[in-house]
Structures are given as C-alpha cells and as structure tokens.
A and B are shown apart, each in its own frame.
Chain A
Amino acid sequence: MKTVLIIDDASFMRLSLKTMLERNGYKVIGEAENGAVGILKYKELKPDIVTMDITMPELDGIRALKHICNYDPNATVIMITSMGQKTFILEAIKHGAKGFLVKPFKEEHVVETMKKLQI
C-alpha cells in the first residue's frame, strides 16, 4: 500500500484528504501543520507521496517543496492549491511538484491524479 504524508495547516483539510485517500487504498502515515514540520516528517517517515498545501504559517508549501525535492529528487509531491494561486503552482511545477489539485476538489479528482501519476 502506498504511504502518504499530508501537509496542510487546516485540520479540516487534512481530515478530508485523509478520508478520501484511505477510502481509495492509500495509507496516511503522517500529518504536518506547516512546511517546517512537514520536512522533518518527510525525512523521518519517508512516505511514497506527499500532499502539500501552499499557504501555511512558519514555512509555506513552495519552500517546503524545494527542500523535499532537494533532499529526495524522487519525491512525489502533489500540491493543494486554491484558484488564484497560479504563480505558486507554476513555481511548484518548476521545482518538482508532480501534480496539483485545486480546492475545492472532489474525491474523484484525487483518485484521477493519483491513478494517472501511477502512484
């Protein structure tokens, strides 16, 4: 079973994603409230996949993404974004994010993304 680390400052979003992922055969092995904790948890838990929110306190998603991709060039990071964060997503893609989901998203979007990216 593929393992997932969810990085998002909103507990509600983390719960939503976790619910959707676990319903589709993924195992959420960790959660983090901001980019800084996210990086630490990535190194500690070595998940197969990371979902990364962009707007977070302490350390935002783009910087955390850069750290993680630097640390592990094979990292699979999916960005979670809102409409209007276009420049951030572009930045994220350039720095190694494998895909992105736009809020509000439905479970089928999550499934589609994971399936197609073969993760």
Chain B
Amino acid sequence: MVALTARGAAVGATKLNRKLLIIYCLCSGLISSLPGALIHSANAATLPEERADLGFNYYSGDGLRVTGPVLLVRKNILDQYSISANYKEDNISGASVDVRSQASAYSETREEISLGGQTIIEDSIISLNTSFSEEPDYESTSIGFAIAHDFFADLFTLNLGFNRGWDTVGQVDTNLDEDIHRYNFNLGISSVFSKRWLLSLDYEINMEEGRLDNPYRGAIIQGAHVLENYPGTRTGHAFSVSALNYRRPDTARRFYYRYFNDTWSVSSNTFEFSYATPFKQIGPELVIEYHVRFYLQNSASFYFDNAPAASKYIARDKELSDFNTVELGAVGHYDLSKWVKIYFNEVTASFGYTGIFFEYQNFTDLSKDRMLNFRADLVQAYITAKF
C-alpha cells in the first residue's frame, strides 16, 4: 500500500514532493514493521549506540578551501528502532587548478541532510536512509536500503544493500539542467575469525547514467581548449578486504585493501593501515588513532593531458588522470566523562589532522608548466556524547 501510494503520488511530482515522498516512505515502512519486530524481540543483533556529535570540518588544498559544521544525532526508540539525522555544510571558496586556467575563483555553500532508520528483526538489522544535498549548481537525492543478518552463532554477518540516487547538474548563469541516475548494490560478509580478529569481504557495484562530465571543465587538443565529452554511462566495481585486530594492552589495528575498476578503464589500488592506542604520557583518557593510506590510480581511456587528435570522448579532469596519493593522519580522542556525568554515559572531545600528498603523472599545471603536485590538509574537531 505504501508503494502503491508512492507510485501514484510520484506522477508529476516536483522535487519537493519527491523529497517528502521519500521521507514518508521511510517513516511508514519502519512503522509498518513494528508488530513483527515486537513479536520477535529476542535477538543477537544490536542497534548502533546512541550518540550525538557536533563538529567542524576544514579542508584546504590546491587553491580550494572547504569549511563547515557537522551534526549527527542517533537515538533508539523502544529498544527496537534507531533513528538518525545528519547535517553537514560545506562553505567552498577558491578554485582548483583545472578550473583556474579557464574560470575565476568563486564561493558557494553546499548543504546536506541525511535521515536514517534501523530496526531489529530477529537476527537481522534493517536499515533505510535518505539524503539530500543542495548547492547552487548541483542537487543530489538518494535513498538506500540495507539488511545485515547474523548467522552461525553470530560469527558471521551477511550484508546486502541497495542505493538509488538522482542528481541534477546545473551551471551558474546558464539554464543547464541535466540529470544523473545512480544505482549502487553492495554485498559483504564479515566474520569473527578469532578472539582477536574480525574480517570483512565486500563487493560493490556502482552504475551511473546521464550528464557525467563537468560543465565547467575543458580538455586540450594540440594546445587548443575544447569542451569535455564523457560517455553517458559508467559502471564501477570495487572489491575490498578489511581486518581488525586487537592487541593487548588496549590497542587495535585495522588493515584495509580495495581494488577498483570501471568501464572507463580507471583502475586503482588502495592500501590503508590504522592503529589506535592510548597515549601513555597522558593516560588512558587519551586515545590516538594513527593512519597511513596509499592510493594508486591509472587514468581513464579517454583522458589526455594534451590530446594529439580529436576523439569521440575526451577528458582532462585530474580525478581521471594517472596519479598517486600518500596520506598520513592522526585523531586524538580525549575522554571527558569524569567531568561530565550529568546526562551522558560518555563524552569525548576529538581533534584530527590528515595530510594528503597528491602527485600527478600526466596532468600539467599550466601556470607552472610542470606536473601538478600538492598537499591537502584536513582538520576536524568535534565533541561526541553517548547516552
């Protein structure tokens, strides 16, 4: 009935109606599963912990600066439901290198709101979520569904998920209004491997269709600037394996590897290692989480720094070029619980810095006439309260 209502209402729906419809389906879907969930109250699956986070994000790199607040609230209802809301704002100023050569610096604001709900049904957790992102020349709406099912004495968890997205691409001072349709399927299995090890294997497929090139960017053919032209579809596959290991006393290590390739011949390998341990000089209240990450990417088949001849598809987007990154970072979590015990079980103040070093093999910085390389700085500060 919900779906039939949704179908009827969708005919001729405006963008606002579409957002309201998605929220309606999300809420009514969760509520409609209430009787079943109450009957099957004995379960091993657990809902995510209740928490509230308030923080500030900062990104700076390649002439671009992005700052803004972030807020996350997650609350349980009747021990069977978990609802969450997330708000983010990105205040963007400047322009990256591939835009500076053809346009001027700018500033704009992007806002994103995400809503989610989860419920437990026997050994499964059902999740629904939706998000809206809006900025002057780009809108994005998505809905998602996921199920995580514990089995074999809760030693394994099977994860299935589907996401659907609708984007609208615009261009400032023009009437450009084109769509992108996105589909995402993911399948994963995680396992309690031993007393100290957790393992996870995941596969994800992303399909996109529509205006996939950037209306602000251009390509170069024999030194002459032309418009970019991308294929209208793209399908990407990502395989990843991750492991968590607990080491006494009180340290945890995480290993991560991902292989990605797509129908544009972009392929990449990602390696990551992180290590969380108390900072002994201060005490157990302060936990530092260090991480190092390596990312290696091959360029798309139609990417050219300076194309020798015209071709059907052509791009000069540095995100599609041949490049590597090295990333180093640390986040400190300081437990404030001994000072704040009134309303919350735990209160933590966190501060993190990450430096990402980009090195491009076939993207020329035209202002310096050499291959581009730069460092991006990521800073985060936030307070977390668990209740």
- Asked if chains A and B come from one complex, the reply is no
- Residues of A whose CB lies within 8 Å of any CB of B are none
